[in-house]
Chains A and B, each alone.
Chain A
Amino acid sequence: MTDMTDDIRKQKRFQFTRHSPTFRLEFESTAAEMQSRCPVAWSDTYGGHWVAASHEAIFDIARESEVLSNDHDVTNTKKGYHGISIPPAQSQYRGGFLEMDPPEQREYRQTLNTYLSPAAVNRWKPFVEALTRSCLDEVIESGRLDFVDDLANIVPAVLTLAMLGLPLKDWDIYCEPAHASVYTPPESPDFPRVMQGAMLMNQRLGEAVVEIREKPRPGMINALVNAEIVGATPPDHELIGVLTLLIGGGFDTTTALTAHSLEWLSEHPAERARLSAERDTLLDGATEEFLRFYTPAQGDGRTFSADCELAGTQFKEGERLWLSWAMANRDPSVFPNPNEIDFDRHNNRHTSFGLGIHRCIGSNMARMAFKTMLTQVLDRMPDFVTDPTGAAHYETVGVINGMQHLPATFTPGPRLGASFAETLELLQRACDEQRLAEPVTVRTASAKIG
């Protein structure tokens, strides 16, 4: 490659402000403009970084792990890279294996794969069904609920804790900080309180690591404390970063997907009726389409670890790049009518779980939890109507395209089983007695609930 001056390399420029409230509102036109005009551009914002906006460019760049680094050098002892956040996040922890490179990253994933593979996740189905049933029972007689607070926040949280091997009743200790730390910007007056909650959560996780090391119980934490990563036992602060990643990934994203999909279905009752009636053939396609359209995790940052030329652009070592999964998912050259939701869409090779070696490790769990919540809502409150005045979308979607609240009304119905509190106890007993959180290599049988 012939060397170009920076002016020529960075000739294509775009003022990319994904953390601003207007970005969310102008997302479709921004994506279209960047795709037709760039599709890779330099932006001066957030310390200066590249943005990849077309599906082709993102596909070509994201899988080049030889020249991309996810490393977050929090101790500033390596190359000083900043992980996946743009602008850099002020943190004393690396964001788990999402902020690591191979071989470390690969070894962490190998440690956890047997807990999160499709076969491993399937065993939890009866657990999630009972949990979802009890959440809906709490509200079914009243004819009103908040889909976020009463359902979509709870199910992924309790399931994640169960798989980690943490006490289920603690779900609300982790729930608020896990969501609020995503949607509260640093300049918000609420930020110090949210950070305090997050610190408390980390402290709890640290205690759990110590506890499980001394008194093993099945779950991903147990696997992590016994893991050997690049020849050594990982230090506790590294494990806390991994657990924070699993909680962040497990909680907020599935909530975001579920809430947005339910809101769309309320606004499209004919499509909702069709999805419900033909779910055997439509549910998979609809799920992938909601994933594509809403892209809960909007993108990831990377740092170039070597000079390289990709997607027609010359990059220099140390430069940062934002891979916009969200914009890739709206690229008309891969997805005809990209801004429409089409349950029958063909060749839906969306990027919502990322591409390449960092593919979301929880994707199977997310799909299963989402499908369970969705089908039970369709069965038990088929005429639900969401309230647009109460619906609260995250004001900024720089990280997660989430929702804080989604109130709805529906025709009341009868309870079907035990209360949420009783169900939580029942599920805890099932976890303990059946050792549900063992890896699939140890336990292949499905959970038996009640």
Chain B
Amino acid sequence: MNERRRVFRNRYWITALLGMGLLVVLLYVQSQSVDGGLSSARSRAERYQDLLAETSDLDEQTAVTYLQEKLAVAQTQLPDQADTELTVQLCQQLISQYEHLLNYPDELQEIQEQALHLSSISIFNRSGSFSQRNIERTARDFGRLSGLKLQIGPDLAVTSLFSSQLADYAVLLLLLILVNMILQERKRGLWTLIHAAPGGRGRLAWQRVGLLGAGSLQAVLLLHGSKAAMSWYLYQDWGDLGRSLQSVETFKYIPLRLSLGSALVWLLIYKCLAAFLVALCLWVLAAAVNNLQLGLGLAAIVLTAEYAGYTLIRDHSVLVWLRYLNLFAYIAPQRLFTTYLNIPFLGQALPGAWMTVGALPLLLLAVLAAAVLIQARKYPIARQNPLLRWQDRLRARLDRHLAWRSAMGYELHKILVVHQGWMILLALLYLELAQAGVPIAADSSLGAYEQAYQTQYAGVLDQRKLQQIAAEIEALESNLPASDQSDPSLSLQYQEQYLQLAALQTVQAGARSTLAACQRQQVTPYLFNQAVYQALLSTDSSSYRSKAALRLILAALLLLSPVLAYENEMKMQRLNRSTARGRGFLWRRKLLASGLILLLLWLISLGSEIYRVTGYYGPLPFLQAPLQCVPEYEAATLNCPIGVFLAGIWLLRLLGLVVSGCLLLLLSGYTSKRETALVANTVLWLLPPAVAMLLNSAELSYVSFLPALTVLPLLLRYPWVYAVLALAGLAALALNWRHDGRCC
């Protein structure tokens, strides 16, 4: 009974593990870099270490002064210089690190003083009251830290690991997958068989527990380990791991004398045990019910309730202990050790985090016992669950009415319901609306004044308008006060007006060159606020667009990979083909349904972009203006309004999406299982662009659909690629049709 091999060598598990690991590392690198690439993350880390090395020999106060000077210099420089932004960011980070070292002893002192002070006030010093105990406890806990020696170090290398909880939630997802996989055998009807085997009960139960433990260990070590390894690679040096934990500001609320290194090790151990506990809980929940779907549903409900408790309960609520004895305190324990909060417990004030940590072994034992008991005692065929019976009756009633669909309806039903595509659509919608940003031109040379002047003079651009601008420039110049270095207020005013003048001159120069470009093309010139079109049409913001493209590819891949593979997996080809409409008609309907889904994806992406962009920039101005009015396109020979050009870009994106859909379907038709199709398509179409994004390599991204869906640089450089793509799509369709016709 090779359970372990069955689970851990399962393609699904391995794919999920590696995929999740890749995603976590990818997003970690993105969070650590300016443009999302690995090399820029690396150079950022190097800059950080350099800055640290420059200051580490100074005493703290001098270091702060030194950094503040550096910061001031950086801030006066032009913002479009590539690394100014970076310098500002890193200086601020280091300043706050040094300031923490300077202030922490005072903070500790303050806690003690406050305790003394408050206990002298009558309403607080009623002995036995919670507030009294709370104050005492806090003072006692942090009293342990007095005289602690703090030391500067590359904190960012460590704190960056805690800036996102994605890895924690990814572990949870993996645990859900694991539990689901272990339960699969029930679905396959193997349970009865195993149950009947000698030693099938008790031993199996322990084996299960072992599996859950090994699985959670794998998940935690892989996800957190790979993230830590990436941090190590980026920062090269984590500094002195023997320095005290509180040297890092993130951990200043932990009242324990620990070195940073040992604290990290303890944290890892905690995460492993906590993941094991969560896995056991999920398993017990799912196994307690005889029905797989119902069990997972129950687990989902419990998780939601726990999550609500974890996030919604406030500090002063009497229910606050529910936050600390909570599954999510074990899943994503960040909040536990970045805050310090005492809660009433048996008449004492107990730090909430102690409660969580202290309860861990007890809970582990309890859940372990429950898991083993359930597995050993539970019979495969028990009395029917009342919930299930109710569901059964409801389904019987609904079935008669809901099951009628058109051929198209059935195909959509397969994609959206059977393969659970609705979840993917929802996830995409969420990503698009909540997580995707707004395009901002990378050079962002347009200052606020320029934009204001452009808006002021918006409209058809003619000589009269140019004259108006020239007149205002003259007026500004004559009003310019003499710059008086001795009077600071006057000097400020001078700077202000000088900036206005410079901005207007920039606008004037831009307007002149637009006018010239439009005259060359014999189109009507317009002047308007350029910010939004710079963002939308500039080739610089292609990283924003390629992220949107990646989301589209991911969604299309998840939705379309199973379409044809499903027929093969269910061995339905012969039956379908023997019916009147089972050949050309059915194939066309499948294609149409897939096309509809792609259209929907495209509309979601388009709609949310319009929503985000107009929400940020306001309605798009002068869509009828010719393309040449956008500086980057002055030399363009194409005569078309901006609006049409934008629409064209979006239509080309649709073309790219449809072609990629055709190829996804082609591969899907050749595979005999949905999972295989998914894995194959992922390897072929998703891995290259993901790695390309990670390495920030343009060459690699050309091995994918990313440039075609990103449209802009590709369209300007090699427009013929779209003709090739259209042909490739048709070829894929023809191949698919032939394969479908050959069949069996």
Chain B associates with chain A: no
Which residues of A line the B interface, CB within 8 A?
A: none
